[in-house]
Amino acid sequence: MARIGVFVCHCGENIAATVDCEKVAKACAQLPGVAYSIDYKYMCSDPGQNLIREAIKEKNLTGVVVAACSPRMHEPTFRRACAEAGLNPYLCEMANIREHCSWVHPKSEETTLKAIDIVKTIIAKVRKNQPLYPIKVPVTKTALVIGGGIAGIQAALDIANAGHRVILVEKEPSIGGHMAQLSETFPTLDCSQCILTPRMVEVAQHPSITLYTYAEVESLTGFIGNFVARIRKKAKSIDEKLCTGCGECVNACPIKKIPSEFNMGLGTRPAIYIPFPQAVPNKPVIDRSRCTYFRTGKCRFCESKCPTKAIRFDQNDEVINVQVGAVVVATGFTVLESTFFPEYGYGQYKDVVTGLQFERILSASGPTLGEVRRPSDGAIPKKVVFITCAGSRDPAKGIEYCSKICCMYTAKHAMLYKHKVHDGQAYVFYMDIRATGKGYDEFVRRAIEEDHVKYIRGRVSRVYERNGKIVVCGADTLLGAEPVEIEADMVVLATAGVANPGAEELAQALHISYDRHRFFTEAHPKLRPVETNTAGIFLAGACQSPKDIPESVGQASATASKVVALFSRDELTREPIVAVVNRCAPPLYSTCVGCFMCQTACPYSAIEREELRTRDGTLVKTVARVNPGLCQGCGTCVAFCRSKSIDLQGYSNEQMYAEVVELFAE
Amino acid sequence: MKQLHERAHELLEQKAVSVIIGYGEGTEGRVRPVFIRTLEAVRLLVWDDRCRVNLAVYLNKPEIRKFGFPIAVVSTPATVRTIVQLIAEHQLSIGDVVVLVRENDTVRALIQKEDLEQYARNNPVIFPPFVIEEIELLKKMSIEERFTYWQEELAKCFKCYACRAACPLCYCEKCITDVNQPQWVCVAPHPVGVFEWHINRAMHLAGRCIECGSCTIACPVGIPIALLTIEATRVVKEEFAFTPGIDCNAPSALSTFRVDDKETFIR
Amino acid sequence: MKEFEPKIVAFVCNWCTYAGADLTGTSRIHYAPNVRVVRFPCTGRIDYNLIIKAFERGADGVIVSGCHPNDCHYTSGNFHARRRWIVFRTLLEYIGIDPRRIIFSWVSAAEGAKWADLVNKAVREIRELGPAKEFINMKQWYEFEKALGGFRG
Amino acid sequence: MSHRTFTITHENLLDVLTNTIAVGNRLVAPVRRGKKLFFRDVQEVQSIVFDFIQSDESPKDLVFPRVEPMLAHEYNAGNVYLIDFAEKLQPLPTILFGTRPCDAVALSLLIEFFNEGVGDPFVEQRAENLTIISIACTRADSYCFCTSVGVSPNDSRGSDVLLTPIDNDQYYGIVLTEKGNAFVKKGGDNFIPSEPKDVAQYIVTLREEFTPQEITQRLANAFNHPLWMDASLRCIGCGTCTYVCPLCSCFDIQDEGTQTKGVRLRCWDSCGFSLFTLHTSGHNPRHIQSERWRQRVMHKFSYIPQNRNLLGCVGCGRCSRLCPADMNLKEHLCTITKEMTEVKADR
Amino acid sequence: MMSTKNVYKPYLMRIVKIIDEAPGVKTFRLQFLNEEEGKSFTFKAGQFAEYSVFGEGESTFCIASSPTRREFIECTFRQTGRVTKALAQKEEGDIIGFRGPYGNVFPIDEWKGKNLLFIAGGIALPPMRCVIWNALDLRDWFENITVIYGARSVADLVYKYELTEWSQRTDMKLITTVDPGGETPDWNGRVGFVPTIVEQEEPSSTNTIAIVCGPPIMIKYTFPVLEKLGFTPNAIFTTLENRMKCGVGKCGRCNVGPVYVCKDGPVFTYEQLLALPAEY
């Protein structure tokens, strides 16, 4: 490794104006291991690159140093040139004598000396460079989509339509997610289910999509292109092949008064149930915690009524392992329990409801079949107060962030209410109105101007009952904080959107990171918004932060394109700048002692445990192993390793040491 | 002592452990580590105030491990913390060690995680007065005085590595001083080489040192060498609220972080 | 007599500070020429032993710089590095080495001017501190006449 | 040369030593550093410690320093230039004062070892410039066992002058060599000529636990004895015993610096370290601690006697006194002589 | 005044030729920088030397060229540690340090009139090559000369050019073998471990000296085979390669029993080895 070529670039006048390039080249020629040293006007030009290619061949170079601009600029260029000449590209390094020298210092002897120093250290590094080879990882072209809401559905369809297999896992008995619960959607007011259900059906019928509902992902091992997911298919207690979805069993069930999850507790369902009429798959499941048979051992009414004998009380949970190449996490969000705010009276007064409950009240498929009737007595409310930021933007009691969708759906609620109850009055308490999407502000304006929704800027301090009315006390800050008191028939709280209850566990199972609100974290907030830090795992929808439908769908498609791009190759090629745990001759096998400090330090969960065994299979010890599929090459583990058993290719201990020491070599 | 003998007898008789690592009478009133494998030998065990050296160091020795786990160790509070720390660092597993401790004049055998952690929490390591004096002395010094102090102390070091050998947490099979590609630590025991070794030792034990003082006891030339690791542990405790050796599952203080760690010194 | 010109090494991460220094260049902001940059993938990669080596081989000061908290290209390398520095600094101070010789900083890819400023300040400060006497002291032994006697403690 | 004998008072002795420094000699004597006792360069004779059984470090580093630069190199434009430190070495005339007789014996054996065969210019030159004034032992502790290894508490081998503390704060001295003679001559009147005396009454008596012959014989086929493993279980594998031993001479050669400029150093090393014999292939002839402990004992009490007809130990007891694990060499040797009566020769 | 020479000061040698032997294995041909030193330098088969890369350290390996060829010295080494890696990076024309020769020698004079059987494995051919060439250069002294040489794979065989030359010579017999799995399609030598090949070949032990060099495992299995064939322990020679630093019996590293391998070795008969503790 000691036939190094040094190529000093003038960069026109950019370097040569302040640095004596010829002198740099001459000084470097004197250094041990330098076989060739030359300066040239434009190294990155075709003739310049040719110079390098020819020198590699003619002088049989074993290393190349290009002293020119920042490696962040042209390192790929010169490495490619080296590769073309048959030299391993990782034996080429750049010395930055432009940005770090010629441009920041005046023309002087000192500047030239600094340039020589810079080149010298890089030569020292190159002496220790090792040829590296891109890491090839095979790709299993199947995607796992976790969550069957609109984001998951969109991602699954996009990936499947690109010709790849998709496994969609949904923990509820039906896909559809929150969007299926919505009445109409802003700002167009088209029917949510009308636009969603065709997609749901498409998923169910798509030949490339395998749908597991009532199932959860328990763990994920492996790495990009090569994950193994462990999925628990909860026992539905029916034989899906035999079930026709006729619904006889549902009618037969004697237990009928279970609050319906789909209707947010405003309606009821039996113990064997289909969550909603358009459910996909449209087949019932038995809620074993409520079923009389499972609780007492007697009943089986449903079984007796089933025409196809599809009921299976003895069914067990089934755990399957699937191999996938990429994972899309689209587990969505939930709304903050409003009991959080006792002053708003949620839970205390039946007619104080959440936004999502109000959606069900407005929905044609809801408990009131689309008529606006209040939960307490079924009367049509004449005065409805909407309170936004119920929990959002409230660091003291709730959450500090903005839930983003509330302003819009509250406007929609008020508007729909007015459309249905023409003589009704709608009030909205708000802090700010955030309506920044396409047609959004117009939509809010319409609510105020055309539908005469009364917007009051101020916070609600208290909600209480008086003479059968719900009194909302607040202040109108636009009127100098004048107290406002409204006797309402109904109150709707725009509760904050928060992460799902199991988000933390899921993140840990998938080895992805999450923020302090338990929303999953993207790899980069600006430039890699749909990727996680774990290569091969992507995010879509509101599991990352609250989002509206178009945003969720947009992100889902973006994610799908990432997955499809990943699946466009049979093998992944990765930069070989990864960490490696050393191996040495027996009886040591490796100097790693398995303290696994690196494991906690690694931001990518790339450190695994590996059992070292002798040839006859006896366990020597358990040491760390870097999964090259996951390692991103930050080298944090390297600096932590006490015994120096782990090293980073491309920035190895020897290389960095040589660079530092060379700086002071006389 | 009688209780210890009874306990030891019991453990060996029931074949609950392969060996008991304990203290026995040594030369000129010293105590020395003894390895009890037979019932007759149990009588050699002593336990008194002289028993300060951290016997957990032998749990890393291949020859001792060869006897097979579980192994019983006569333990001071520092030893218990060491064993907990070794478990946290994946060097031992729960059940590998039967930890014999004194508690309220009785001898207890700790095996389970909860017992170990509880004992470790309730029994902090107490510095002997001379160590506290030294710590105070150094605190009062100016940085130049400290430099002179350490240069004088470290000049004695001839790199016998007794500190490393006596430390139960220095269990690397290849120490950084033995790594020569690149040569991180100068081999020679001249001022630079000695400085490099001691700063590395302190950095490597930061957030891990139990402060048992075995290194100082072992040092043949009398360098108060534990002060360095005590300081490292102090800063870890102060800045990151982390105490080593009390939690069998704690990740190392230095390979974890908090977003709001101090950064007043960073521009 | 010529003014003492300190030798300073900067250990910087590739993604923020190195790029920031590139920006200083692109913006043609001039600064003191005493600094030599060593590029690391991440501040998490910077081994404290390299800082020691730099001093031992003759550096008068060391700059360590990377991405601002939360901006790390690898999400948390700089947080890990920060913890390590807290301990390392304290230990150096304890053993009698002036911690002002190591300057820690966050310089983002956008802070070209901050980089120039950082370097200039570092050069000024280290110049005031003078040569790294602690290490010169330790290395006195290497001086020829003294070395002849062998080192015996 | 006939041995001159003399007496000198403690005070006069201090005067002589002060004078030695004044005329440009280097004086090395036992001084305290904390609780430990080392041989260090002395400027103030008051700091010299007289009342001790044994120093913590041996004085061997006066001839065999813990770091010895042997060579320096410089690369320049394709050429390599070497500087030979042996040629440049000019050791100061040094008075080593206050050693125990065992140390003086050890030093002489050490010097002899380095000088035989190809020789060693470093040790040789230092030894030439070294005058050893030792003081016979009036006290001993249970670690001492010089009499068992053929050394006596007033052994005169290796010393240039041997002093024995007698009554009334006085010393009785014997000049043993020309260098000793020169030292005494410079002291002038302070040394009062005296008839040869029998000072045995002042010398400590130390029980002979075993004889060198006994131990060597026993070890001759003790290589595979289980005692090695049993006795070394508590050994933690540090290098303390070898570094404080006045006779242990194993060393390492290390290069420092870069390929462009650097030095080659000789540093102490220890057979107790596992890396001592480790091949780069990973093979280690002595891969467990008991083998390394055995090597140390065998080397001193069996191999050296086979080659040089003397033991590699003077019974100073430092290794045992300072051992962190209380590995007591004397005790161990006693066990060997008593228990190794029947040993199987496995090979 | 210094009366003793600094034995630790090496000669400066220039690398005049580098041969890539096998993956990680190189041969250097060295010449004394100072011609006077070169003229007065002599050595004998079996001796070794300390080769140094200044700033990195010294490494021990045998002199692989024949003492009958005085104009240069050759050594062959495998990159394993710090020094050998640094050596491997040297180019023709570079200067390295050399101290030696050290150690004892093969008693080649005593072998006059005997058959010689050389058995070598892997990178252990170099110490043997010295004595093989020595014997070939003094061909009339000996009766039959047989060389059995094995390596892990075809690529790992060193001195391939000389193996060709030897195989074509009529005054000696060369058997090359590679471990099972190490052969290439065009390999026309034997396949099998060295001890097995020796067993199959059944060389006569009558009036024969066996010289065995190789990794410990090969030696361990070859000695019994030779004994079975009737070789007496004093007719089997080998060289030990303990870790060494000084080369002159001072540093204590290579001490095995009463013997210092660097001074009293590296050449031992099997008989001598049997008397030593097995610490090599």
Query: Using an 8 Å Cβ cutoff, are E108 and E27 in contact?
Result: no
How many whole angstroms separate alpha carbon A208 and alpha carbon A206? 5
CATH architecture of the domain with residue range A4-127: 3-Layer(aba) Sandwich (3.40)
Q: How many CB atoms lie within 10 A of CB A616?
A: 5
On whether the A579-649 domain is CATH 3.30.70.3270, my answer is: yes
User: Nearest-5° angle of CA A578, CA A579, CA A581?
Assistant: 145
State both tokens at A161: 């339509």
**Segment E174-223, tens digit of pLDDT:** 999 999 988 899 998 999 999 999 999 889 899 999 999 988 888 889 99
| Cα A164 from Cα D335, distance rounded (Å) | 78
The single residue listed with the structure tokens 């210890």 is: B4
Residues B135 and B203 in one domain: yes
Mapping DSSP to helix (H, G, I), strand (E, B) and coil, where does residue E152 land? coil
Query: Based on the domain organization, do B134 and B110 belong to the same domain?
Result: no
Q: What is the pLDDT of residue A338?
A: 61
Encoded tokens for A109: 């002897």
pLDDT of A535 > 60? The answer is yes
Of C144, C147, C153, the CB nearest to D66: C153
**CA torsion, ordered B97, B101, B106, B109, to nearest 10 deg:** -10
Under an 8 A CB cutoff, do B180 and E85 touch?
Answer: no
Same domain flag for B117 and B135? no
Q: For residue D344, what pLDDT is reported?
A: 44
Q: What is the pLDDT of residue C150?
A: 65
Subunits with 3+ C-beta pairs closer than 8 A to B: A, C, D, E
> In this model, does residue C80 exceed pLDDT 50?
yes
**Tokens, residue B131:** 């160590």
Interface probe for D, chosen from E255, E264, E271, E273 (most Cβ of D below 10 Å), is E255
pLDDT for position A128: 92
CB-CB neighbours of A188 under 10 Å: 10
Tokens of A388: 């936004």
Pair (B54, B152) in one structural domain = no
Confidence (pLDDT) at D75: 87
Q: Is residue C18 part of a domain?
A: yes
The token pair at C134 is 């602690």
CA–CA separation, E55 and D75 (whole Å): 10
* D110 phi, psi to nearest 5 deg: -65, -45
Distance from CA of A437 to the nearest CA of C (A): 28
Task: Please state, in angstroms and as integers, the Cα–Cα distance from residue A350 to each residue in A5, A466, B181, E209, following that order.
Answer: 82, 14, 74, 106
Cβ neighbours around A283 below 10 Å, total: 22
For residues B31 and B187, is the Cβ–Cβ distance under 8 A? no
**What residues make up the domain containing B102?**
2-122
Residue D20 makes CB contacts below 8 A (sequence gap 6+) with D27, D95, D183, D186
- DSSP assignment of E159-223 equals -HHHHHHHHH-SSSEEEEEE-TT---TT--SEES-HHHHHHHH----TTEEEEEES-HHHHHHHH
Q: Do B85 and B144 belong to one domain?
A: no
Tell me, yes or no, whether C91 lies in a domain.
yes
Alpha-carbon distance A11 to A115, whole Å?
14
Q: Which residues are within 8 A (CB) of A191 and not within 5 positions of it... i.e. 6 or more apart?
A: A183, A184, A185, A364
CB within 8 Å: B173 and A597: no
- Looking at residue A1, its pLDDT comes to 46
How far is the C-alpha of B240 from the C-alpha of A519, rounded, in Å?
A: 26
What would the mean pLDDT of B56-85 be, rounded to a whole number? 95
The residue whose two tokens read 């410690």 is: D49
Contacts of A588 in chain B (CB under 8 A): 173-174
pLDDT tens-digit profile, chain D (347 residues): 445 899 999 999 999 999 999 988 899 999 999 899 999 999 999 999 999 999 999 999 999 999 999 999 998 878 899 999 998 888 889 999 999 999 999 999 999 999 998 999 999 999 999 999 999 999 999 999 999 999 999 999 999 999 999 988 999 999 999 999 999 998 888 999 999 989 999 999 999 999 999 899 889 888 888 889 988 999 999 999 999 999 999 999 999 988 888 999 999 999 999 999 998 888 899 989 999 999 999 999 999 999 888 899 999 999 999 999 999 999 999 988 887 655 444 43
What does each C-alpha distance from A598 to A8, A606, B182, D122 come to in angstroms? 39, 9, 20, 47
Of the ranges A212-221, A341-350, A410-419, E89-98, which one carries the lowest mean pLDDT score? A341-350
The domain limits of chain D are: 4-202, 212-339
My answer on whether omega of the bond before B70 falls inside 30° of 0, hence cis, is: yes
Which residues are CB-neighbours of B154 under 8 A, at least 6 positions away?
B191, B194, B195, B198, B223
Q: What is the pLDDT of residue C145?
A: 59
Decide if pLDDT at A173 tops 80.
Answer: yes
Q: Would you list which residues of chain C are within 8 Å, Cβ to Cβ, of chain D? A: 142, 144, 147-153
Angle at B61 (CA atoms; ends B57, B66), nearest 5 degrees:
135
Residue D133's φ and ψ, nearest 5 degrees, are -105, 105
Neighbours of E135 (CB within 10 A): 23
Out of B150, B258, B266, the one facing C104 most closely (by C-beta) is: B266
Token duo for residue A35: 């076989």
Q: Is B232 helix (H, G, I), strand (E, B) or coil?
A: helix
State pLDDT tens for residues A556-566. Answer: 999 999 999 99
Query: What confidence category does residue A504 fall into, taking pLDDT thresholds of 50, 70 and 90?
Result: confident
Q: Which of D276, D280, D306 sits opposite E253 (nearest CB)?
A: D276
The arithmetic mean of pLDDT across residues B251-258, rounded, is 90
CB C106 within 8 A of CB C16: yes
Fold of the CATH domain A142-234+317-332+500-567: FAD/NAD(P)-binding domain (3.50.50)
Greatest Cα pair distance, chain C, in angstroms, is 54
Mutation pick from D61, D94, D123 vs chain C, by most beta carbons of C within 10 Å, is D61
- For residues A281-298, give the mean pLDDT: 92
Interatomic CA distance for residues D336 and A280, integer angstroms: 86
Plot region of A462 (φ>0 → left; ψ -120 to 50 → alpha; else → beta): beta
Q: What phi, psi does C38 have (nearest 5°)?
A: -115, 125
Residues in chain A: 666
Phi, psi of D96 (to 5 degrees): -95, 110
> Average of pLDDT values for B173-189?
92
B230 and B117 share one domain: no
Confidence tier at C143 by pLDDT (50, 70, 90): low
Mean pLDDT of the region A78-97: 95
pLDDT digits (tens, 9 = 90+) for A302-347: 999 999 999 999 999 999 999 999 999 999 999 887 666 778 888 8
Q: Are A142-234+317-332+500-567 and A337-498 the same fold in CATH?
A: yes
Higher pLDDT, D31 or A603: D31
pLDDT value, residue A524: 80
At residue A69, does pLDDT exceed 50? Answer: yes
Say whether residue A654 is in contact with chain C using an 8 A CB cutoff. Answer: no
Whether E223 contacts E236, CB under 8 Å:
yes
Give whole-number Cα distances, A629 to A136, A535, C75, D298, in Å: 9, 8, 18, 53
Tens of pLDDT along E38-73?
889 999 999 999 999 999 999 999 999 988 888 899
Reported as type and span, the H/E element at residue A657 is helix A653-663
CB atoms within 10 A of CB A478: 11
Instruction: Tell me: do B203 and B135 sit in the same domain.
Output: yes
Tell me the torsion sign for CA atoms A630, A631, A632, A637.
Answer: positive
**Cα dihedral sign, E53-E59-E60-E65:** negative
Query: Residue D259: which of A638, A2, A107, E268 has the closest Cα?
Result: A2
**How far is Cα A571 from Cα E268, in angstroms, rounded to an integer?**
56
- Chain D positions touching A584 (Cβ under 8 A) are 282
Statement: A337-498 belongs to CATH 3.50.50.60: yes
Residue contacts between A and D (CB atoms, under 8 Å): 20
The answer to whether residue B207 is domain-embedded is yes
The DSSP call for residue D300 is I
Q: Are residues B112 and B198 in the same domain?
A: no
- The dihedral region occupied by A146, where left means phi > 0, alpha psi between -120 and 50, and beta the remainder, is beta
- Residues of A with Cβ-Cβ distance to C81 under 8 angstroms: 636, 639
| C-alpha of C57 from chain center | 13
> Does some domain include residue C51?
yes
SS3 content of chain A, % helix, strand, coil (to 5): 30, 25, 45
Residue B267 is assigned to a structural domain of this protein: no
Query: Which candidate from B138, B255, B263 shows the least CB-CB separation from C82?
Result: B263
Q: Does C2 map to a domain?
A: no
* Structural domains for chain E: 11-102 (2.40.30.10), 108-239 (3.40.50.80)
Taking the C-alpha atoms of residue A26 and residue A20, their distance in angstroms, rounded to an integer, is 10
Of C90, C95, C105, the CB nearest to B150: C95
Q: Where exactly are the structural domains of chain A?
A: 4-127, 142-234+317-332+500-567, 248-305, 337-498, 579-649
**Is residue C102 situated within a structural domain?**
yes
pLDDT for the residue D2: 46
The CA radius of gyration of chain C, in Å to the nearest whole number, is 17
- Tell whether ipTM is more than 0.90: yes
Tens digits of residue pLDDT in A442-470: 999 999 999 999 999 998 988 999 988 99
Burial of residue B253, with CB atoms counted within 10 A of its CB: 0-12 exposed, 13-18 middle, 19 or more buried: buried
| Alpha carbon of residue E166 to chain centroid | 17
Instruction: State the total domains in chain C.
Output: 1
Q: Is the pLDDT of residue E127 over 90?
A: no
The pLDDT assigned to E103 comes to: 94
Asked if the Cβ–Cβ distance from D61 to C148 is below 8 Å, we say no
Output the CA angle A226-A229-A230, nearest 5 degrees.
150
Chains that touch C (3 or more CB pairs under 8 A): A, B, D
Q: Is residue C22 part of a domain?
A: yes
Neighbours of A377 (CB within 10 A): 10
Contact (Cβ atoms closer than 8 angstroms) between residue B68 and residue B98: no
When CB atoms are compared, the residue of C148, C151, C152 closest to D89 is C148
The H-or-E segment that residue E137 falls in is helix E125-137
Distance from the Cα of D65 to chain C's closest Cα (Å) equals 5
pLDDT of amino acid D1: 40
